[in-house]
Amino acid sequence: MSDPKIWAAFVSGGFALAGTIYVAILNHFSRKEHQRFKAATDEKLATFRANVGKDIARFEAQTAKELAKLNADFQNERDERLAKQQSEKVLSKFRAPLLQAAYDLQSRIFNILKLEFLPTFYSNGSDLEQEYAVENTVFLLAQFLGWTELIRQEIQFLDLRSDEETRKLRSLQDSIFTRLRTDKFGQGFRLFAGEQRAVGELMIDRTGELPRCIGFATFLTDRNPNLDRWLDLLREDVKKMAADVKPYEKRLISIQHSLIDLLEFLDRNYVYFPMKSRLKI
């Protein structure tokens, strides 16, 4: 060991061994640190991915919900437009005859109350005039109910909740029906709701290309016993009006006012009938 070369080799080997051990220890701790870092990183990455997945799922669910609502709104809007178009077709097809029927009925009521139509043509008229005074008065009411029922049947399956025009028409029709059926005016010249519908149904003629209400000639010549079961009572009321209209006055005035409101709705610009012929009693 006294040989310097041997000692130097020994020392050099010792340092090399110590270095190897140090490097081995350092590598050992480095691997553990790396593993700890990797594990922590993997955990954070997994958490991040899970959170991102939840966010994506929430986003997709919200997007699907909003898309479904948009589709539903679009479908509802489309259905409403289609229903409104269909109702407009019905109203345009039957507006004129309903308008005419409403005008004729209110005009007859005006003549009965203000121009002594029944005393003139029933009480003091010829046999033909008497028949006309009674039958035509009853026909005018039945005709109005016929056109009203026809329109109701044509649009009953349409969803018209957003159609302001049709809702207004129904409201005006209901107003007339209510005044015709109510007991607050007594029992004279009254038809219950079901009777009004029944008369309207029996007045409809569907034999042609388009449904329509039967005319006065058919009403007279083809006497329908099913119609007469309700109209005969009205005929008797008309005859009684010729002697004394006072018991019937409130109901007739109320119906006439509602008919004028309907005319205002159907003919706002007085295209068919002038304002002076549409005055409320």
44-92 per-position pLDDT tens digit: 877 877 787 777 878 777 877 776 776 665 555 554 554 455 555 556 6
* pLDDT tens digits along 97-144: 999 999 999 999 999 999 999 999 999 999 999 999 999 999 999 999
Rounded Cα distance, 150 and 83, in Å:
17
Say if 220 falls within a structural domain: yes
Phi, psi of 104 (to 5 degrees): -60, -40
Distance CA 195, CA 101 (A): 19
Residue 73 inside a domain? The answer is: no
Q: What tokens were used for 30?
A: 């480095």
Confidence of residue 256 (pLDDT cuts 50, 70, 90): very high
φ/ψ of 204, rounded to 5, equals: -85, 130
Q: How far is CA 194 from the centre of its chain?
A: 23
Q: What is the Cα 210 distance to its own chain's centre?
A: 25
Q: Would residue 48 count as lying in a domain?
A: no
Number of domains in the chain: 1
Residue 162 belongs to a domain = yes
At 278, which helix (H) or strand (E)?
none
pLDDT in tens, 138-178: 999 999 999 999 988 887 655 545 577 778 888 999 999 99
Task: Give a yes or no: residue 198 inside a domain.
Answer: yes
In a domain, residue 28? The reply is no
Which has the higher per-residue pLDDT, 15 or 218?
A: 218
Q: What is the pLDDT, as a whole number, of residue 139? A: 98
- Answering whether pTM is above 0.75, one says no
116 within a domain of the structure (yes/no): yes
- Note down the domain range covering 127: 89-277
